[in-house]
Amino acid sequence: MNAPVLPVRLDFAPPRHDWTLEEVEGLFEMPFTDLVFRAAEVHRRGFDPTELQISQLLSVKTGGCPENCGYCSQSQHFKTATVASKLMAAEAVIAAAREAKAGGAQRFCMGAAWRDLKDRDVPRVAAMISGVKALGLETCATLGMLTPSQAAALKTAGLDFYNHNLDTGPDYYDQVVTTRTYQARLDTLTAVREAGISTCCGGIVGMGETRRDRAGLLHQLATLPAHPESLPINDLMPIPGTPLGGSTPVDPLEFVRMIAVARLVCPKSVVRIAAGREHMSKELQALCFLAGANSIFVGGRLLTTNNPDRNTDEALLADLKMRPMGTKLSETV
C-alpha cells in the first residue's frame, strides 16, 4: 500500500492521542532521510540525544508457559532448548540486581513465564521488587496478565514499571498468538495505569507482518489514554522449534523506520531497542539512536536469548560518545 505522505506535527507538548492509522502509515512512507531527520528533531525536543537509559533483564521463572506465542521459546506448546525452572528465591534475584547495578544498569526488569500472576505468588514477587528497589534501582516486571488488586499490591511493593507488550497490530495478532486476546492485553495495561505504575509496552517486528501491521501497533500505542513511558521495539530473534523460528529478518532500514515512527507518535516515551541487538551492527544501532531510540538492555542475556556483552556495549557507547541517562560525561569510561 502506498499511503499518502502526510505532514508531521513537530510540537512536543502535549503529545497527540488522535492519530489515525492512515497518518501513521503515511509516516512510514516518508523518504528515509526526511523521516529520520524529523524524528531526531522531535527526540531533541524532549531528551538529550547523547544519553541512553540502561536496563537489565532477568528471567525469574523460565519456561512452561501455557500461552502459544509463536515467537517464544518458553511456551509449553513448542519443543525448544529452553529448560523450565521454578520461581527464583527473592535473595537470588536481589543478588543479581546488585550485580547488574555494579555493571551500570539503571533499571532492573524481572520476567516470569506466566499467563497471569497468581495471588499465591504475589508476596514472593513483592519481596523481589522491594529488595531491588532498596538497592536504588528502578524496578520493572513482566508477569503476564494482572488484576487490579494485584497491580495495586505490586505498586505498594515499589514497582515502577510493568512491561506488557501488544506484540503487533490488532489485525495480525491472531497470526502470532491465539491463547490470549488483544483486549486482555489492553485490560492489563489499564489495571497497571490505574494502579499508578508506569507502563512499558511495545512489540516485535520480523514475525511476517506487513508495514501496515507495524503501523497498526504504533497506532494502538499512540491512541492509548496515556502513551507508554517505555516503548520497547524488539527485532525478532528466531528460536528453533517455534512457529516463527524460520522467519525472514526485517530489512535493517525498515527497523530504523519503526524506531523513527515510534518516536514521532509517542514523543515523550523512552524508546528502547530491545531484543535483536545481538545481530545488529553498531552502524545500525547508531542509526536507531539517531532516529530517536534512547534505551537498551545490557548484560549478555535477555530472558532466553543472547544480548551483547558488557564490553561490547561499553565500546559502542564510547565510539558514539554516549552515556547512561542522568550521568555526567566525566562519570563514563
214-237 residue pLDDT tens = 999 999 999 999 999 999 999 999
* Residue 9: band (very low, low, confident or very high) from pLDDT cuts 50, 70, 90: low
Q: 327: Cβ–Cβ under 8 A, 6 or more apart, which residues?
A: 51
pLDDT at position 327: 66
Average pLDDT, the chain: 91
In a domain, 42, yes or no: no
Question: How would residue 131 be classed by pLDDT, with cut points 50, 70 and 90?
Answer: very high
Tally the domains of the chain.
Answer: 1
Instruction: Answer with the residue of higher pLDDT: 11 or 42.
Output: 42
Question: Would you state the pLDDT for residue 107?
Answer: 96
**Residue 27: inside a domain, yes or no?**
no
Q: What is the DSSP string of 21-81?
A: HHHHHHHHTS-HHHHHHHHHHHHHHHS-TTEEEEEEEEEEE-S-B----TT-TTBTTS--S
Asked if residue 301 has pLDDT above 90, the reply is no
**Does residue 330 form part of some domain?**
no
Q: Which helix (H) or strand (E) holds 232?
A: strand 230-235
Question: Is residue 74's pLDDT more than 60?
Answer: yes
Q: What is the pLDDT of residue 328?
A: 56
Query: What would you report as the CA-atom Rg of the chain, rounded to the nearest whole angstrom?
Result: 19
pLDDT band for 303, please (50, 70, 90 cuts). confident
Please state, in angstroms and rounded to a whole number, the distance separating the CA atoms of residues 260 and 269. 12
Residue 178 placed within a domain: yes
Residue 143 structural domain? 53-321
CA nearest to 292, candidates 39, 7, 8: 39
Cβ count within 10 A of residue 321: 9
State the pLDDT confidence band at 330, using cuts at 50, 70 and 90: very low
Res. 13 pLDDT band, cuts 50 70 90: low
Residue 35 domain flag: no
CATH number at residue 291: 3.20.20.70
Measured CA to CA, the distance from residue 60 to residue 174 in angstroms comes to: 28
Task: Tell me which residues are annotated as active site.
Answer: 65, 69, 72, 109, 140, 200, 272
The residues, any chain, with a CB within 8 Å of residue 151's CB and separated by 6 or more, are: 162, 191, 192, 194, 195, 197
Q: Could you report the per-residue pLDDT of 156-204, keeping only the tens digit for each?
A: 999 999 999 999 999 999 999 999 999 999 999 999 999 999 999 999 9
Residue 262 — pLDDT band, cuts 50, 70, 90?
very high
Residue 314 falls inside a structural domain: yes
Decide if 204 is inside a domain. yes
- What is the bridge-based pairing of β-strands 138-142 and 323-324? unpaired
Is 333 among the domain residues? no
d(CA 332, CA 262): 28
Nearest to 119 by CA among 85, 144, 88, 92: 144
For residue 85 the three cell numbers come to 525452572
